[in-house]
Amino acid sequence: MLNEFYIPPADGYAHSIMISAFCHSELFEEARQLAKDFEAKFDKYDLVLLNTMLCAYCRAGEMESVIHVIKKMDELAISPDYNTCHILIKYFCKEKLYLLAYQTMVDMHSKGHQPEEELCSSFIFHLGKIRAHSEALFVYNMLRYSKRTMCKALHQKILYILTAGGLLKDAYVAVKDNSGSISRAAVKKIRICIYKVG
């Protein structure tokens, strides 16, 4: 199918635009093939192009190619940006590599990038499911202390995760700071847990 499309024989920008178009149209195999074609013909990279290739490989589920692009960024001393981290976090979550996604989010945060709430909320849920309670708390706090508004349900979600992980002091703080956003049943549950522990 790739042969049906005309690709101008210019630099990598035409490839970047076409790869993005394929990804947006959910033609992931075509995007992957075009990214491979670019790598074979050109040796000219920038952050935009590498992010576009990374997106194509992630959407096609090609772990080896994803690792190759990350290594290429390191070799060329190209620093990942918000988009790079966002692409990788979503991909690692899709592949159920939650701790790798967590490390990527920590790196993202250390560079001053703030992930979007929807991604964080979903990620907190997955971290809770794999019993990575402290990691879920970090992501929650990162979102809480950013200048973005948070969905009220997220406060209750983290409360259940913290209670399940035995992080009762943190659960108490979450209740105290967000009592208006947490149901009475959830508040009662945390009180019972704290009472039992002493």
- Output the domain CATH number for residue 100: 1.25.40.10
> Token pair of 68, please?
């190759």
Residue 125 is assigned to a structural domain of this protein = yes
| Reported pTM | 0.79
Residue 189 is assigned to a structural domain of this protein = no
Residue 156 is assigned to a structural domain of this protein = no
**Domain boundaries, position 124:** 2-148
CA distance 10 to 41: 11
Measured in whole angstroms, the distance separating CA 144 from the mean position of its chain's CA atoms is 17
> Token pair of 50, please?
């590498």
pLDDT in tens, 68-117: 889 989 998 999 999 999 999 999 999 999 999 999 999 989 988 888 88
pLDDT in tens, 109-139: 998 888 888 888 899 999 999 999 999 999 9
Residue 102 is assigned to a structural domain of this protein = yes
Residue 130 is assigned to a structural domain of this protein = yes
User: What's the mean pLDDT when you consider all of the chain?
Assistant: 83
Domain count, the chain: 1
Residue 173 is assigned to a structural domain of this protein = no
